[in-house]
Chain A
Amino acid sequence: MERVNSITKKIGEIYFTLLSPNEIRKMSATKVITADTYDEDGFPIAMGLMDPRMGVIEPGLRCKTCGQRVGKDKCPGHFGHIDLAMPVIHVGHVKTIRDCLRSTCRDCGHLLLNDKQRDDFIDQIGQYAIEGRNINYLYKEIITTARKSDTCPHCGREVGKIELDKPTSFRENGKKLTPTEVREWLEKIRDEDLPLLEINRKSARPEWMVLTVLPVPPVTVRPSVTLQSGERSEDDLTHKLVDVIRINQRLQENRDAGAPQLIVEDLWELLQYHITTYLDNQTSGIPPARHRSGRPLKTLAQRLKGKEGRFRSNLSGKRVNFSARTVISPDPNLSINEIGVPHRIAEELTVPVRVTVHNIEWCKELIIAKYAPSSLEKDYVAGVNYVIKNAEGVKRRIKITDKNAEMISESLEIGSIIERQLMEGDLALFNRQPSLHRMSMMAHRIKVVPGKTFKFNVCVCPPYNADFDGDEMNLHIIQGEEAKAEAEILMKVQENILSPRFGGAIIGGIHDIISGCFLLTNKERKVPVAIASYLLGAVGYKGDITVCDDERIGRYVMGRDIFSTLLPKDMNMRFKSKTYQSLDSEEAFVIIKNGRLLQGTIDENSVGAFKGNILDRIIRDHGMQAGREFIDNVTRLGIAVATMFGFTTSIDDEDIPEQARLKVAEGLDKAMEKIKNLVKAYEDKELESLPGRSLEETLEMEIMRVTGRARDMAGEIAGEHLGLENSAVIMAKSGARGSMLNLSQMSGCVGQQAVRGERIHRGYKYRTLPHFKKGDLGASAKGFVASCYKKGLNPTEYFFHSMGGREGLVDTAVRTSRSGYMQRRLINALEDVKVEYDGTVRQAGGQVIQFIYGEDGIDPTRSLNGKAVDVDRIIADIKEEA
């Protein structure tokens, strides 16, 4: 058996240093002198930019330095170097170079501080480090102090004024300093002074910030691509390096030939430009180097930086195998723990299984299962895609086809790994972006289903924030046993029913499930035995139930008795239902005694997410498993009820009687009158202004109040005529979908449209639209929509409504980006914070943030809406025992 190293190697620490010229030469595989890549025959030129000593990119070719190939042996590539004819300043370090020049003496290299100042600062640095204070200010102070002296306290040389001409040239007293001079100066700085300049002698010397040798990255870092036409296209870095070498060579030749100073300087500057853009092509002050096509080149800094850069795109987040993505659709017949995976995906994705003595037979069968004649009759048979054989330390991956299946199955050895296709019951992670919280990625049990979409229970929509208008989601198959165990215990949907945000359920019945429960339990619903047995079958109930007899409808079962079958036998509760929230009588309460629903209407307040009382209680008393079963059963029951009883909403649900319409119109007229009076009072200057407000503001606020009230009034009138026999009302009142506001806008009056919280006022001079008189301050001229959606809006109303609608759209667009960035910052600031075993909350470095988490050490997920202990519950229990 293969020896498994249970302890993997761990990186302990990473050091950062500057490369010294010597180091660059030492690690270099070759000097690069030719500004070209390949010769006419397509072979890389020796000492050119594609020299095979710097590694190779074609598979099969061997690297001339280490003799290994790219893919298999993993030759990582090797650095080369370019000897620069003249030194060049590194753009990234200019500010440090400037500070070094400003605070040291050009002649003796001493810091421009007298010994006492120097010692003081060294003490202070030590002190700051002990106190853990932000040391940056101190370094700034050192430089400002050093700059203050006019002469060097050590050799007496007069100190020149150093200026930095962005991006890379320096002037001393107005006279230009060449990089050679800068380098000579920096060389003089003593090692002892470096700590005061924020430079660590162990990792850097100031003169290394002026380049004399340029490292050339391995070929593997800048691979060239061969286009279909056979043309080679080089990487941006290679392009840039070609420029550098070319100019470097010309500079060398000119200088050696003793060309005029002016020409040499021009070339020097050009070399500086090319190296600057090679390092960072977005340096301010110089034009970015461009590709022939006019596209700016992506050079070193651009490769690392930003969202698409190496750090955020390739290191902090990576692409993965064993994943799938497709459209999602609902399936109420699945448990919340399950996910329906289409055949095509299930056949593509695999789970690795190691062949052992115990499962070898099963594995063998599995390999041929797909190709056995009996598999044709079944919908889906899991097979094996690959077998990974481990022969003498070399791994070989063999694809299973109908031709080789039999053979491979027979020759299967213990110790190989088979990659088998998905089977029912495998665990997978399911995710929807944006992944804003941990419930955006949960583990589901796989169920292979026909079709082409992922299917899951609608109750799981809220945590993913998913709907089915074309959303796509991702699936990741778990590959290791350890990961599987973690997913099972921590990530399964049932473990995430309670949200850590507020300590309540985030998964619960929604939409038709709530409507169904409402229909079943509202108003003493009697269910004929035939339908009742269908419903009980849907939830898989086995047991007794009370059947009553009635002369008119025959044998029936009480709806609430059917619902009671889902409740645990020891449940006792009493709470107000959502439907009758405003009602102040006993009917409004849901009463459960010993697991029997005695009275009340089941709705959002019982089974819904966020506020489902019954759901909450089941999870707390009986655990996640029971909670999951309850949600599954409520889903089945609710959907079954809606199916059997029928539940439809249509446009005539918004019909209100003629006299109600008149009443609404009358009310609106009154409101208009009021507004007219307000405007008149304002124009006559009789309006009394609110404290601290101008007259205009007061008028606006008053009118807004009147229009708001007018809409509410219309809603009330409409509501009076829309009773609980109306499906739309049932949905709104029971909390299944929509609100009474939606209904009143549809059948009463849409109400005041607002932009930026004010009545609409922009448009033409003194008026919003040419349909109104100039200076009209009335309701309809400022965006009041008196019509209802059902009746339809008149053109001006429609226009105002669109204005309000547009604001909403813009708002959403702006909000997502702003809140996304805020969350990224929050996560970055808090990601290392964890609870230690001693109960303290600490950052990665060990700094204490809290001595006890949240002042009481309670997990918000387990808390009762923030409360540490459910005192009422304890008291009630104790009382019962007594």
Chain B
Amino acid sequence: MPKKTPTKAAVSKKASSKTKPVKMQEAKDTKEKTMKDQATSKKQTVDTLPLEPAKKTKSSKSKKTLKKEPVETVIVAPVEKKSVPKKETPEDKSIFKINEYLTGRYLPFKIIEELSSKIIIEKLEKKTKDIVERALIDYEKNKIDPAEACGIVGAQSIGEPGTQMTMRTFHYAGVAEINVTLGLPRLIEIVDARSIPSTPMMNIFLNEEYRHDQNLAKKVANQIEITVLNEIAEIEADLTNLMITVRPDKEVIENKGISIDDLLEVLGKIRKTEAKANKDGSITVSLDDPSYKMLLDVNEKLKSLKVKGVDGINRIIVRKEQDEGYVIYSEGSNLDEVLLIDGVDQKRTSTNDIQAVARVLGIEAARNMIIHEAHNTLSEQGLNVDLRHIMLVADIMTSDGEVKAIGRHGISGEKSSVLSRAAFEITVNHLLQAARKGESDGLTGVAENIIVGQPVNLGTGAVELVMKRTKAKKE
């Protein structure tokens, strides 16, 4: 697929493909075809790809589309308006022309885009052919060599700057008000595929009609932020009558957009109690079988009763960003539920909880999120690491359809080679288990071959063509 630097979790892939002109689609197809050809030439792999992820992505996709339907109508409209008259822009024409010269040869789409825009700026349309040829030569020159140990290089490129990172856990990122784990601890967290990050947070973007209006943004924020009964009302336990009176602060509840009925509904859900509204706006909670202990219990429960908001989200900050309007930042994360709230832009809203992204948006979104998060943690420390290395790590973590950790509980523990596993961690158990299971080690990996003292199957060691000497002698 044409390369897009990964941005927010649910990247608007659809939108981008829509704006693409027809010819590009073709180029993409041919590229995919060549890729398919390449893949099928190596027999075993493609068809053995586990079925599970396919299922998973399907199900999550259907979920996605379901959720997105109301949004799409809003978003798509302006895009089409723009793209319809734009169809004949010089850029498109130039891209079309470039594709013509390419004649099926492959150049990354990002390069084609850049070429076309630069050609227009410099008015070099007539030289397009030369430029494309030059670009192709350069592209071919810069391509990675076969048998390159890109895995090790990638691991080194991410591990080595790790020594230069700070250990300090808390830093202020983006929003000064929210603490986020950064530096080495965060990088380790990403690589570990922790189920819950130590400092979950979300960037909640709003839809077109919400994001420019402070009140509407606040309204969304109010729906997300947890409001506890204690914050909006006085709770009085009446010990003589064994009843509890809840006196909501009118101003506050109005601000938060909570009605008495809402309160009644929430209060009604507490077991073995009954809530009644009084004329003065207060609510009386009576117990089904009154007892002193019960009263205190319920009183405590009421204090921390969630009236409104999304579980897991602790603090909310609404900020006005340039060119964007209002954005909500939250400490704590709950992607599943936040995405369902009206006014939240499902395409751009993101969380740093990678497992949640995998659960809600699917494995590819999780991959993008890993890339995004790892890249941000590294560049925040001023470390420059090529995106391709991070992609490789993200891809290996997600290639099975679930987010797997780097380490003995994830990828290293599932390696097929006994010796490689034994050399990594928990040596003895792996060996005993291998004996019971009757495993065999085909010595295809690096660690195994080093252990038995053979050349490794990477780089110059991957070449299997050998000259036979005896034959020459016979002749």
Tell whether, in the assembled complex, residue B315 and residue A315 are in contact, meaning their CB atoms are under 8 Å apart: no
Measured CA separation A858–B454 after assembly (Å):
30
Tell whether, in the assembled complex, residue B144 and residue A845 are in contact, meaning their CB atoms are under 8 Å apart: no
Could you name 28 residue pairs across A and B whose Cβ atoms are closer than 8 Å? A6-B469, A14-B441, A15-B440, A16-B438, A131-B52, A134-B414, A312-B423, A501-B161, A502-B157, A692-B317, A814-B167, A819-B165, A833-B150, A835-B148, A838-B39, A845-B416, A846-B42, A847-B45, A850-B395, A854-B391, A856-B3, A859-B148, A868-B139, A870-B138, A872-B118, A874-B134, A881-B130, A882-B124
A828 at the interface (CB under 8 A from B): yes
How far is the CB of A670 from the nearest CB of chain B, in Å? 24
A433 at the interface (CB under 8 A from B): no
For A94-108 the 0/1 string (1 means CB < 8 A from B) is: 001000000000000
Question: Which residues of A in the span 429-452 have a Cβ within 8 Å of any Cβ on B?
Answer: 434, 436-438
Do A834 and B388 contact each other (CB < 8 Å), given the known contacts A13-B441, A825-B191? no
Q: Which of B39, B148, B165 contacts A851 (CB 8 A)?
A: B39
Do A869 and B138 contact each other (CB < 8 Å), given the known contacts A10-B454, A858-B143? yes
Residues from chain A with a CB closer than 8 A to the CB of B170 are 756-757
How far is the CB of B136 from the nearest CB of chain A, in Å? 9
Tell whether, in the assembled complex, residue A15 and residue B438 are in contact, meaning their CB atoms are under 8 Å apart: yes
Do A818 and B431 contact each other (CB < 8 Å), given the known contacts A501-B157, A823-B159, A858-B142? no
For A845-882 the 0/1 string (1 means CB < 8 A from B) is: 11111111111111110110110111110110111011
B151 at the interface (CB under 8 A from A): yes
Q: Which of B71-79, B107-115, B280-288 contacts A (4 or more CB under 8 A)?
A: B107-115
Most chain A CB inside 10 Å of its own CB: which residue of B38, B119, B160, B385: B160
Residues from chain B with a CB closer than 8 A to the CB of A811 are 166-168
Most chain A CB inside 10 Å of its own CB: which residue of B107, B166, B170, B388: B388
Tell whether, in the assembled complex, residue B167 and residue A756 are in contact, meaning their CB atoms are under 8 Å apart: no
Measured CA separation A314–B208 after assembly (Å):
63
How far is the CB of B367 from the nearest CB of chain A, in Å? 11
Residues from chain A with a CB closer than 8 A to the CB of B458 are 832, 834
Tell whether, in the assembled complex, residue A830 and residue B155 are in contact, meaning their CB atoms are under 8 Å apart: yes
Chain B interface (Cβ < 8 Å from any Cβ of A): 1, 3, 35, 38-39, 41-42, 44-46, 48-52, 107-108, 110-111, 114-115, 118-119, 122, 124, 127, 130-131, 134-135, 138-139, 141-163, 165-168, 170-171, 176-178, 184-185, 187-188, 191, 315-318, 331, 384-389, 391-393, 395-396, 399, 406-407, 410-412, 414-420, 422-424, 427-429, 431-432, 434-447, 450-452, 454, 457-460, 462, 466-469
Q: Which of A304, A846, A857, A863 contacts B428 (CB 8 A)?
A: A304
Q: Which of B187, B419, B427, B435 contacts A17 (CB 8 A)?
A: B435
Most chain B CB inside 10 Å of its own CB: which residue of A690, A829, A846: A829
Tell whether, in the assembled complex, residue A14 and residue B419 are in contact, meaning their CB atoms are under 8 Å apart: yes
Residues from chain B with a CB closer than 8 A to the CB of A18 are 435-436
Do A204 and B387 contact each other (CB < 8 Å), given the known contacts A13-B443, A14-B419, A829-B412? no
Q: Which of B134, B147, B166 contacts A878 (CB 8 A)?
A: B134
Tell whether, in the assembled complex, residue B163 and residue A844 are in contact, meaning their CB atoms are under 8 Å apart: no
Tell whether, in the assembled complex, residue B438 and residue A875 are in contact, meaning their CB atoms are under 8 Å apart: no
Residues from chain A with a CB closer than 8 A to the CB of B391 are 850, 854-855
Q: A134-B414, A690-B176 are in contact. List 18 more A-B contacts (CB 8 A).
A: A13-B443, A17-B435, A198-B437, A204-B438, A831-B151, A832-B415, A833-B150, A834-B150, A834-B151, A834-B458, A840-B38, A842-B45, A844-B444, A855-B108, A855-B391, A858-B139, A859-B142, A877-B134
Residues from chain A with a CB closer than 8 A to the CB of B178 are 692
Measured CA separation A586–B304 after assembly (Å):
65
Measured CA separation A882–B126 after assembly (Å):
10
Q: Which of B168, B411, B427, B441 contacts A311 (CB 8 A)?
A: B427
Tell whether, in the assembled complex, residue B392 and residue A833 are in contact, meaning their CB atoms are under 8 Å apart: yes
Measured CA separation A845–B444 after assembly (Å):
7
Residues from chain B with a CB closer than 8 A to the CB of A859 are 142-145, 148
Residues from chain A with a CB closer than 8 A to the CB of B422 are 304, 311
Measured CA separation A844–B450 after assembly (Å):
14
How far is the CB of B152 from the nearest CB of chain A, in Å? 6
Tell whether, in the assembled complex, residue B385 and residue A501 are in contact, meaning their CB atoms are under 8 Å apart: yes
Q: Which of B122, B168, B191, B420 contacts A757 (CB 8 A)?
A: B168
A841 at the interface (CB under 8 A from B): yes
Residues from chain A with a CB closer than 8 A to the CB of B163 are 434, 436, 815-816, 819-820
Tell whether, in the assembled complex, residue B139 and residue A826 are in contact, meaning their CB atoms are under 8 Å apart: no
A196 at the interface (CB under 8 A from B): no
Residues from chain B with a CB closer than 8 A to the CB of A858 are 108, 139, 142-144, 388
Tell whether, in the assembled complex, residue B124 and residue A822 are in contact, meaning their CB atoms are under 8 Å apart: no
Tell whether, in the assembled complex, residue A829 and residue B410 are in contact, meaning their CB atoms are under 8 Å apart: yes
How far is the CB of B464 from the nearest CB of chain A, in Å? 10
Measured CA separation A130–B52 after assembly (Å):
12
Residues from chain B with a CB closer than 8 A to the CB of A7 are 466, 468
Main secondary structure of the interface of B (DSSP, over half): helix
Residues from chain A with a CB closer than 8 A to the CB of B188 are 818, 822
Measured CA separation A15–B420 after assembly (Å):
14
Q: Identify the 7 closest CB pairs spanning chains A and B, nearest first.
A: A833-B151, A200-B438, A823-B159, A203-B438, A854-B388, A830-B151, A819-B162
Q: Which of B45, B152, B462 contacts A831 (CB 8 A)?
A: B152
Please name the residue on chain A nearest to B43 by beta carbon. A846
Please name the residue on chain B nearest to A202 by beta carbon. B438
Residues from chain A with a CB closer than 8 A to the CB of B419 are 14
Please name the residue on chain B nearest to A311 by beta carbon. B423
Residues from chain B with a CB closer than 8 A to the CB of A870 are 138
Tell whether, in the assembled complex, residue A830 and residue B119 are in contact, meaning their CB atoms are under 8 Å apart: no
Measured CA separation A635–B427 after assembly (Å):
50
A221 at the interface (CB under 8 A from B): no
How far is the CB of B195 from the nearest CB of chain A, in Å? 17
Chain A interface (Cβ < 8 Å from any Cβ of B): 4, 6-7, 10-18, 92-93, 96, 130-134, 198-204, 209, 280, 301, 304-306, 309, 311-312, 315-316, 434, 436-438, 486, 490, 500-504, 690-693, 701, 756-757, 811, 814-816, 818-820, 822-823, 825-860, 862-863, 865-866, 868-872, 874-875, 877-879, 881-882
How far is the CB of A550 from the nearest CB of chain B, in Å? 44
Q: Which of A312, A756, A815, A879 contacts B124 (CB 8 A)?
A: A879
How far is the CB of A690 from the nearest CB of chain B, in Å? 6
How far is the CB of A860 from the nearest CB of chain B, in Å? 4
Tell whether, in the assembled complex, residue A203 and residue B436 are in contact, meaning their CB atoms are under 8 Å apart: yes
Residues from chain A with a CB closer than 8 A to the CB of B167 are 811, 814-815, 818
Please name the residue on chain B nearest to A316 by beta carbon. B423
Tell whether, in the assembled complex, residue A878 and residue B45 are in contact, meaning their CB atoms are under 8 Å apart: no
Tell whether, in the assembled complex, residue A869 and residue B142 are in contact, meaning their CB atoms are under 8 Å apart: yes
Residues from chain B with a CB closer than 8 A to the CB of A855 are 1, 3, 108, 388, 391
Tell whether, in the assembled complex, residue B38 and residue A839 are in contact, meaning their CB atoms are under 8 Å apart: yes
Residues from chain B with a CB closer than 8 A to the CB of A839 are 38, 146
Measured CA separation A827–B424 after assembly (Å):
10
Tell whether, in the assembled complex, residue B45 and residue A846 are in contact, meaning their CB atoms are under 8 Å apart: yes
How far is the CB of B79 from the nearest CB of chain A, in Å? 24
How far is the CB of A855 from the nearest CB of chain B, in Å? 4
Measured CA separation A420–B72 after assembly (Å):
77
Tell whether, in the assembled complex, residue A309 and residue B153 are in contact, meaning their CB atoms are under 8 Å apart: no
Tell whether, in the assembled complex, residue B50 and residue A133 are in contact, meaning their CB atoms are under 8 Å apart: yes
Measured CA separation A133–B49 after assembly (Å):
10
Do A871 and B162 contact each other (CB < 8 Å), given the known contacts A13-B440, A833-B151, A858-B142? no
How far is the CB of A434 from the nearest CB of chain B, in Å? 8
Residues from chain B with a CB closer than 8 A to the CB of A842 are 42, 45
Residues from chain B with a CB closer than 8 A to the CB of A502 are 157, 384-386
Tell whether, in the assembled complex, residue A828 and residue B437 are in contact, meaning their CB atoms are under 8 Å apart: no
Residues from chain B with a CB closer than 8 A to the CB of A881 are 130
Tell whether, in the assembled complex, residue A836 and residue B146 are in contact, meaning their CB atoms are under 8 Å apart: yes
Q: Which of B142, B147, B317, B452 contacts A691 (CB 8 A)?
A: B317
Do A860 and B165 contact each other (CB < 8 Å), given the known contacts A311-B422, A311-B427? no
Tell whether, in the assembled complex, residue B156 and residue A823 are in contact, meaning their CB atoms are under 8 Å apart: yes
Tell whether, in the assembled complex, residue B45 and residue A501 are in contact, meaning their CB atoms are under 8 Å apart: no
Tell whether, in the assembled complex, residue A692 and residue B316 are in contact, meaning their CB atoms are under 8 Å apart: yes
How far is the CB of B305 from the nearest CB of chain A, in Å? 22
